[in-house]
Amino acid sequence: MASTSNNDAVGMPQLDFSTFPNQIFWLVVFCVILFAIVKLFIIPRMEDIFANRRKIIDGNIAKAEEIRIRISEIEKQIEEEIGKAKAQCDDIMNTSANNVKEQMSIALEDSKTATSQLINEAQGRLEELKDGSEAAIKKISEELANEIISKISRGK
């Protein structure tokens, strides 16, 4: 039989009941050691790895959420800034347009007064010239008359 280190299996060695106590003894020893390994090493380690992974995934999700919120904040800020810039731009445009208008009106006023002055001056000169010419005509005609008179009187 198999129990006595004989190499020939008679039938099925599985049914050699004389080996059962030995098999069961070693199986129990094996099971106890294996269960201890599972309980003390494998499960804590696997659960630790799993918990760590869970933690990191949750952390990443939380971080992503945080970043999303910050992005929307930044977007809001950008919009605000754009609005402000637009307002500023309008302001600058308005003031510069006003300035130009003012300056233009001032220049217009100036030119108006200048032209009226020039016209006055020119009128004055014209008057003067008119007066002058009348006097000159008078003088010339007097001189002419005198000359004529003297010529006539000499000829006689």
Partner 1 sequence: MEKQSAFNIYPMDQFIIEPILMGENLEWYSFTNQALWMLISLAAISFVFIYGSRKHQLVPGRLQSVAELMYFFIRDMIIDIAGQEGLRYFPYIFTLFILILFGNVLGLLPYSFTYTSHIAVTGFLALSVFIAVTLIGFLKNGFGFLSLFWISSAPLALRPILLIIEVISYFVRPVSHSIRLAGNMMAGHAVIKVFAGFAGALGLGAIAPIFAITAVYGLEMLVVVIQAYVFTILTCVYLNDALHPGH
What separation in angstroms does the CA of 10 have from each of 1, 20, 66? 7, 16, 74
Minimum CB distance to partner 1, residue 64 (Å): 17
Residues 25-64 as x/- pattern, contact with partner 1 by CB under 8 A: xxxxxxx-xxx-xxx-xxx-xx-xxx-xx--x--------
Q: What residues contact residue 9 under an 8 Å CB cut-off, 6+ apart? A: 2
Q: Is 129 in the site for partner 1 (CB under 8 A)?
A: no
- The CA distance from 92 to 39, in Å, is 77
CB 9 within 8 A of CB 2: yes
Minimum CB distance to partner 1, residue 68 (Å): 24
Q: Please identify, using beta-carbon distances, which residue of 43 and 145 lies nearer to partner 1.
A: 43
**Phi/psi of residue 45, each to 5°?**
-65, -50
Q: What residue ranges bind partner 1 (CB under 8 A)?
A: 2-5, 7-9, 11-16, 18-31, 33-35, 37-39, 41-43, 45-46, 48-50, 52-53, 56
